A and B are shown apart, each in its own frame.
Chain A
């Protein structure tokens, strides 16, 4: 049963991926790269918003020190 629901979820994910790929394929490589850059920017914004929310008293330079500690100890 567990395996069945896992396969079902996997199938649904793949169907979703295919739908998004249909849209992606209409873009040129440069347009895809621009979309990627926007995602990268959103990721970094989200990360620093989270840091700011957890450390509202810190300045940007101090937040960077926290980021350094978190990220440099977080390498796989």
Chain B
């Protein structure tokens, strides 16, 4: 298969994160084919772990991305990350693909980072979240769109889920009851098994 536009953009971002030694975790639609559901997405969702040491690395990384033509405002990115706001870096070849960047800030983010895993994706070693984190985020209040819930179902039907770990994510987002109800609605063997493992009463 020839290298396509998404691959070029994806590799430039992932390679540069490794090159500048920035701790990150890839989440969202780009990791979905690894977990089950195959669907298109515009966003490469990346969460960065930033502190005093990594802030210099961040500046260098942004300067590098600027030098290879990525489209963004450096001052806006730094302001957004310091204020826990999402921000974007655009692919100059399409402007359709973009990185959605956010700083690791909440308990949920930190737990996601703690359980990150290295996988081979697109011929690169990439740090991605665990399936339990992907479920926990997608059923947390503020998400729960039809796409999110289809993603959750595909993860449950495809991946082996650690119920104890999932419970940690559900407790942070106060989504335990919602998860139990959702698993009942899915009404499959795997969702019933997970309901049992989670000790769902409702």
Contacts and interface: CB of A to CB of B under 8 A. Distances in A.
Interface of A: 13-14, 17-18, 21, 24-25, 29-30, 32-37, 39-44, 47-48, 64, 67-68, 70-72, 75
B7 interface: yes
A41 B122 CA distance: 14
Contacts of B96: 43-44, 47, 67, 71
B110 interface: no
Interface of B: 1, 4-7, 32-34, 36-42, 71, 88, 90, 94-98, 119-122, 146, 150, 153-154, 157-158, 185-186, 188
Contacts of A13: 146, 150
A51 B150 CA distance: 30
9 contacts: A32-B36, A35-B38, A40-B5, A40-B6, A43-B42, A47-B96, A48-B94, A70-B95, A71-B98
B188 A37 contact: no
Given A21-B157, A40-B97, 9 more contacts: A17-B150, A18-B157, A21-B37, A32-B36, A36-B40, A37-B7, A40-B40, A68-B95, A71-B98
Contacts of B41: 40
A58 to B, nearest CB: 14
Interface of B is mostly: mixed
A42 B154 CA distance: 22
Nearest to A22: B157
A17 B154 contact: yes
A25 B37 CA distance: 9
B122 A72 contact: no
Contacts of B5: 40-41, 44
Contact of A72 (B6, B90, B146): B90
Contacts of A33: 33-34, 121-122
A30 B31 CA distance: 12
Contacts of A34: 1
Contacts of B37: 21, 24
